[in-house]
């Protein structure tokens, strides 16, 4: 047992400094955040580590697009496992559409009439999805038919990324950096719906086994694998399960607001994953409870800062 230190605020304090203070306290959320920074810093700086990012929840619409893109650009990430939604929203931003601030007490039938989809306090113009459909058809049409017969999700996303003109796009940057974006249910998204309709009149067959092979290959070839898991859901499970063949992740940080008692994976503490051989041990895992749009930028700022 250590003493719980008291956090001290100073003028002009840097992010890494305030988190160091939280580490002195070492308990409750403050202690977990400091520990998450420590583990993330190790994953980012130790060259033996391959780093995976799990991405669920509206992280791109919620303002983390640039943060994620910059991490790819600066070579911190080796693969991303994401919901289809975050991919879709990256593309519509790249096409010039913007997410807008909304209200949690909005009247949804009214928004529907006005042509907006709501994500908590974020609004998205539905016409962005019409433009997306056209763009998707055009891009996919340019993929050689041979490849389209048996293409992985990550290959489609690279093909799309290659053709986007926005340097701030996660997809474009991931293509440029050769970082695969694994979207294990890519068809379950607005982009995926477009791919599906395309497949009803032209050749397109997505082979998700190829995505899984890619992810397993990355994990098994790595000396060590670390993961930062934002939100739960399919990305969390897929990222974890693809690491069972190597006996589990070496280090992991998860950020979630879900709770464990209902038994779902999203709220499960990372400790459970040890029993399943999805994580190796207790030493380098942190369960951070809170809002990722606050916590992830703080972690990135502190973990990538000199020190």
Regarding 131 and contact with its own copies (CB under 8 A), the answer is no
Which segments of 183-290 are extended strands (E)?
A: 224-230, 251-256, 285-289
Minimum CB separation of residue 135 from its own copies in Å reads 19
Q: Catalytic residue at 278?
A: yes
Burial class (CB within 10 angstroms; exposed 0-12, middle 13-18, buried 19+) of 105:
exposed
Phi, psi for residue 91 in degrees, rounded to 5: -70, -45
Residues 40-69 that bind its own copies (CB under 8 A): 56-58, 61-67
Return the number of the residue (13 or 223) whose C-beta is nearest its own copies: 13
Q: Which stretch binds its own copies (CB under 8 A): 47-55, 93-101, 133-141, 155-163?
A: 93-101
Sheet holding 285-289, edge to edge: 181-182, 79-82, 49-55, 224-230, 251-256, 285-289
Among 40, 52, 91, 99, binds its own copies (CB under 8 A): 99
Return the number of the residue (165 or 205) whose C-beta is nearest its own copies: 205
- Spot the catalytic one: 172, 236, 278, 280: 278
Helix or strand or coil: residue 125? strand
Regarding 165 and contact with its own copies (CB under 8 A), the answer is no
Q: Which stretch binds its own copies (CB under 8 A): 94-102, 137-145, 157-165, 217-225?
A: 94-102
Among 47, 109, 178, 201, binds its own copies (CB under 8 A): 109
Residues 195-224 that bind its own copies (CB under 8 A): 195-196, 199-200, 204-209, 212-213
Return the number of the residue (101 or 178) whose C-beta is nearest its own copies: 101
Distance separating the N- and C-terminal Cα atoms of the chain: 26
Positive or negative torsion for Cα 87, 247, 273, 34: negative
Q: Which stretch binds its own copies (CB under 8 A): 43-51, 133-141, 219-227, 294-302?
A: 294-302
Q: Apex CA 27: angle with CA 25 and CA 31, to 5°?
A: 75
Regarding 117 and contact with its own copies (CB under 8 A), the answer is yes
For 252-274, b/e burial (b = at least 16 CB within 10 A) is: bbbbbebeeeeeebbbbebeebb
- Catalytically active residues are 278
């Amino acid at each position: 047992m250590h003493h719980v230190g008291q956090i001290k605020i100073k003028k002009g304090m840097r992010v890494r400094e305030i988190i160091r203070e939280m580490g002195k306290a070492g308990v409750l959320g403050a202690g977990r955040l400091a520990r998450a920074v420590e583990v993330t810093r190790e994953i980012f700086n130790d060259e033996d580590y391959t780093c995976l990012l799990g991405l669920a929840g509206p992280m791109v619409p919620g303002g983390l697009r640039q943060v994620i893109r910059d991490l790819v650009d600066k070579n911190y990430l080796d693969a991303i496992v994401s919901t289809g939604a975050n991919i879709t929203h990256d593309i519509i931003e790249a096409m010039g559409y913007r997410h807008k601030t909304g209200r949690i007490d909005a009247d949804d039938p009214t928004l529907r009439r006005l042509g907006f989809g709501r994500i908590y306090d974020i609004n998205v113009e539905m016409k962005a999805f019409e433009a997306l459909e056209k763009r998707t058809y055009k891009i996919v049409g340019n993929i050689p038919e041979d490849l389209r017969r048996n293409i992985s999700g990550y290959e489609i996303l690279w093909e799309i990324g290659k053709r986007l003109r926005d340097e701030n796009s996660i997809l474009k940057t991931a293509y440029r950096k050769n970082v695969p974006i694994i979207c294990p249910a890519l068809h379950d998204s607005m982009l995926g719906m477009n791919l599906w309709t395309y497949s009803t009149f032209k050749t397109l067959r997505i082979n998700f086994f190829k995505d899984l092979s890619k992810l397993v290959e990355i994990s098994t070839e790595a000396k060590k694998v670390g993961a930062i898991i934002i939100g739960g859901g399919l990305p969390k499970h897929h990222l974890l399960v693809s690491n069972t063949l190597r006996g589990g992740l070496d280090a992991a940080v998860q950020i979630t607001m879900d709770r464990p008692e209902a038994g779902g994976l999203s709220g499960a503490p990372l400790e459970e994953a040890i029993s399943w051989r999805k994580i190796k041990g207790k030493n380098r895992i942190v369960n951070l409870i809170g809002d990722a749009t606050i916590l992830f930028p703080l972690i990135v700022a502190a973990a990538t800062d000199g020190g």
